[in-house]
Amino acid sequence: MSDPTPAAITATADPQRETFASRFGAIITMVGFALGLGNIWRFPYMVGKFGGAAFVLFYVLVVLVIGVPGLMAETALGRYTRRGTVGAFERAGLPAGKAVGWFFFAIVVAATGYYINVIGWVVYYALGEIARAAGSALDVSAVLPPDTGFSGKSVLLQMACTAAVILSCVVVLVRGLRHGIERAARIVIPLLCVILVVLIWRAMTLPNAYAGVAWYILKFQAADLTPRVMMAAIGHAVFSLSLGGTFMVVYGSYLTANDNLTANAWWTTFGDTVSGLLAGFAIFPAVFALGLAPNSGPGLIFATLPKVFAAIPAGWLFGLLFFISLFGAGYLSAIAAFEVLVAALTDNTRLSRQVVVWLVAGVAFLIAIPPMINNQVFIPWDLTFGSGMQTLGALVAAVTVGWAMNRGEAIRALSEGAPRAVPNWLYLWIRWVIPGALLAVGIWWLVTDVLHLTGGV
């Protein structure tokens, strides 16, 4: 029997599909995977790279005007079709929707490979702080891929740490949505909040910490808000909120008809944005207090911050807490990435969830090996499968809701569970403004990071 036509699909079309246990569980889970490494690893170095306050303030604006309606569109697409990436586009009426779904499935496979490697680095850095507390010296930088060439030690360390991360994800994934993923988020998110508060307190009590705060959010100059900064802020908002036609679509498919997508989107955006801002308050005052450079790029976390921890009393403890928080954030996002793949295979094959979880884990480990070699592989892998393809996925999802679904279906899908229908202008915003903004970011990424026609971002 073929799939029902888009018009016949409702949020109750698949009564066997597992749903979140509660609205709180849905929100905290979505905040958890949206938070990820994007907020505690990527957001601070993006702030440093793009000049501080101008980037931060424009980023906050973007998550409100692009992020919230984008989240609504993707979760509505998932709930309306009751399918993840593979199936949602087809059921919503997008031409070649099934092929598009499998394309993004392949993108998530590739992206998961490099992402879990970074989480593996975090694990090794946490072990380094424990070793320092015990009076031992552990060269934590040995886990990082070299800029060029090949390091057998680095690859072996990465393989071990990555395997440990994957196995920890499997433990949660085999238990399903409510007893695995949702329960993990309920434990990890409160722990992250406590750790961030402790780290902020320590950073703010260091001498000259205020200089870091001022640079971070107070020293705004209109001249700093260049097109380069604005495009970077929009692109990071997509990355940070886990837009991309994958994560949010899958978790949207687990929502009930009573869930208010508008409220969920606002709460998810709030939690995600606040966590990123708090990470900045935990990092930049400490960096400025010790006279270090805030613009050290991706190395801000793995090169600059360890120097901070080494220079302050009981620094190993604060270093350990930081890397635990970084692991927790990345761990929830890794679980979400795996769930995109698991949902695609369980939706479209007769394989059991347990078999699919182990199959996905094995494939992810193999795909993770090439980015381990050196940064000449890792960085283009990140730019292509993280930044570029994620923006493309968000664009396709917005186009699907705004153009493939008819207006009445889209508004009903966005409004179900809310006390009143969403306004028509919001539908038009999703149809025109969000695709336009994402298309601009995609073109900018192609011109700068791929073709290098403007000197790079």
Question: Quick one: DSSP state of residue 146?
Answer: P
Dig out the tokens for 1 from the structure.
């029997």
Inter-CA distances, 14 with 74, 88, 370, Å = 18, 13, 39
Rg of the chain, C-alpha, whole Å: 21
Inter-CA distances, 364 with 13, 157, 173, 359, Å = 31, 17, 14, 9
Dig out the tokens for 30 from the structure.
């979505």
Q: Is the pLDDT assigned to residue 13 strictly greater than 80?
A: no
At 72 the pLDDT is 98
Is the distance from CB of 198 to CB of 401 less than 8 angstroms?
A: no
Q: Is the pLDDT assigned to residue 323 strictly greater than 90?
A: yes
> What residues make up the domain containing 324?
13-450
What's the pLDDT band for 11 if we cut at 50, 70, 90? very low
Within a domain: 4: no
Q: Is the pLDDT assigned to residue 436 strictly greater than 90?
A: yes
pLDDT digits (tens, 9 = 90+) for 349-370: 999 999 999 999 999 999 999 9
Inter-CA distances, 316 with 35, 228, 255, 312, 379, Å = 24, 37, 41, 9, 29
Inter-CA distances, 135 with 125, 128, 130, 248, 310, Å = 15, 10, 9, 44, 13
At 453 the pLDDT is 74
60: Cβ–Cβ under 8 A, 6 or more apart, which residues?
273
Task: Taking residues 116-123, report their average pLDDT.
Answer: 96
**Surface-to-core class of residue 314, CB atoms within 10 Å of its CB (0-12 exposed, 13-18 middle, 19+ buried):** exposed
Within a domain: 236: yes
Within a domain: 457: no
Instruction: Give the whole-angstrom CA distance, residue 55 versus residue 58.
Output: 5
Q: Is the pLDDT assigned to residue 446 strictly greater than 50?
A: yes
| Residue 29 falls in which region: left (phi positive, over 0), alpha (psi -120 to 50) or beta | alpha
Within a domain: 6: no
Within a domain: 285: yes
CATH number for the domain spanning 413: value is 1.10.4160
Amino acid found at 194: V
Q: Is the pLDDT assigned to residue 457 strictly greater than 70?
A: no
Percent of the chain whose predicted confidence (pLDDT) is above 70? 95
Within a domain: 456: no
Q: Is the pLDDT assigned to residue 9 strictly greater than 70?
A: no
* Cβ count near 65 (within 10 Å): 15
Task: Taking residues 3-31, report their average pLDDT.
Answer: 69
Within a domain: 1: no
How many domains does the structure of the chain reveal?
A: 1
At 302 the pLDDT is 87
- How much is the mean pLDDT over the chain? 90
What's the pLDDT band for 297 if we cut at 50, 70, 90? low
Dig out the tokens for 384 from the structure.
């292509």
At 300 the pLDDT is 79
Task: Taking residues 100-118, report their average pLDDT.
Answer: 95
Q: Is the pLDDT assigned to residue 308 strictly greater than 50?
A: yes
At 456 the pLDDT is 45
What's the pLDDT band for 384 if we cut at 50, 70, 90? confident
Q: Between the ranges 61-70, 291-300, 375-384, 439-448, where is the mean pLDDT highest?
A: 61-70
Q: Is the pLDDT assigned to residue 10 strictly greater than 80?
A: no
Dig out the tokens for 111 from the structure.
């992206």
Low-confidence winner among 281-290, 357-366, 391-400 (lowest mean pLDDT): 281-290
What's the pLDDT band for 51 if we cut at 50, 70, 90? confident
Task: Taking residues 175-192, report their average pLDDT.
Answer: 94
Within a domain: 2: no
What's the pLDDT band for 14 if we cut at 50, 70, 90? low
